[in-house]
Structures are given as structure tokens and as C-alpha cells.
Amino acid sequence: MLIGYARPYSNDPFCKEQQVLLTNMKCDQIICEESFSAKQRTKLANMIRTLDPEDKVAVPSSLLLQILHAIFLSY
């Protein structure tokens, strides 16, 4: 299974851009963290605990998202 993982950051506080990328990657499941705090990554911890050996995790690059955000702002 391909699992997408997104976390909030300043340019994408609700993970919407990351969800679009992960959906386009055809992720079977998308997990979106709710907290900005690195100490409160409960969904990440739960995902790691439940991963199967054949699972793959996709995490959008914040640099890629910053580039996409800049492109969208220029239109």
C-alpha cells in the first residue's frame, strides 16, 4: 500500500497542497497531521506502528511545495 503523510507548515497550514500532491501520486491512504509541533506527531507515530513490511510512505518535500506555492502566487 502507498501511504501519503502530510504535516502542517507555514505555507500549507491545513495540508491542502500536500493532499493534492499525494492524491495525484495515487496514494491508497493519506494521513494528515494536525499539529505544527514536532513533539505532537501522533498520527505519524500511529502510522509507523501499523506499517506492514510491503508498505511505502510518500512525504511531499517542503522545498517542492514552496516552489509550487511560488509558481501559483505568480499567476
CA distance 19 to 14: 9
With a threshold of 0.85, does the pTM exceed it?
Answer: no
Residue type, 17: E
pLDDT at 6: 93
Mean pLDDT, residues 3-16 = 90
Asked if residue 19 lies in contact with residue 70, where contact means CB atoms within 8 angstroms, the answer is no
Query: Where are the chain's structural domains?
Result: 2-73
Question: For 26-71, what is each residue's pLDDT tens digit?
Answer: 999 999 998 777 677 888 889 989 999 999 999 987 756 666 666 6
